[in-house]
Structure 1
């Protein structure tokens, strides 16, 4: 079980989703056979995340609900917060935004109560995404700012990069493009530092688009090229090809 949990972050960074599902499903079944309720709940949570990543939203929701219920039965409030957070993401993917926002608020409150600042930062970040999807841009900017500050406070630079990128998206939607460019630059730097190439590629793509929007084609071209290189290193050839095509359009 411990091995499965430790493998998840690596499998996430490398986007090995089939392996992720296999590892966590095996861990869930082993924990169930052993009668280890907390380990089974943890495995369900990690399994749900992998299912969400491959677009199986309802299966992911079901897995996270099982995880939450098991943690509640075990009276493990901190882990229950993790399950609520994961459930919120799955609900957002399914377009159930009001339920997602409620789940994220539950997660944030539980993380605050248990003193987990990193977990609270994650919950703020996911709450911001749900708020942004619901069209509440100002509230989303506030949520992403809280997430960034918390992750920086605990020196989790990769997660701070995720918050920076999401903050940039919200700032761009608020027509604050110069602020958005700085946010995307910070995000790309953080992700490259951790060799999280897929997230680095996403931030670089956003950076290129923002420069293009304010009439800086030279900068946009350079960032699209960097974006393509990052996606290639992340084993995401389709996204790399798209970035190269956007760069080529700026050469004509």
Structure 2
């Protein structure tokens, strides 16, 4: 299920044939709440496994897809047979599944990237911000030899509270087996989105962090995917089209992880 901002003027035809926007908004809120409940139940199951199997001499990965199928404790809140099918998942949950797999194998790198104001003004006038960002970033990644890195990001145009507009930027994550690949990815971001960036401002405008070093407890693994997608359904005239991007390689990883969870 894809996330997109919808307005009444996006539908053509007679007024009586157009959908009721309040109903669409209510349905979107219900889906968002269902996503949080699903992820919360998965984490609660992982917490119970952690408490039962905890051993100070061994590292334990409580959100591992392999632990989800072990059933060494009481019945989980959501049995594998009751988990939604892949095609029924929203993009927010797919982002979480890919992020969780990266955290599990210590390959997740979160990033925030601002866009050069000059490029942004030019692209906004053309009405093609998303297309230009995707094309330039894909080209820069190919030049740096990382074209197939699993990547997901969302265009953000509002403040953290969602009440006011902000400068358009990207929130997302990338999965890298080697930290050097994350460094190459940061270089690709700088070349693609901020070619005029000065050295003194690099850490503020383009930031790439290894998520596992932040000592985030596993119960907060869902925080970043939900944070980056929080305003993806809010309309903004500067971003008239869809704001969520998930690469094919990340989709393949997330689908495989979900298949294991469902014991298919």
Task: Give me the TM-score of the superposition, normalised by structure 1.
Answer: 0.27
Where is the strand percentage greater, Structure 1 or Structure 2? 2
Higher Cα radius of gyration:
2
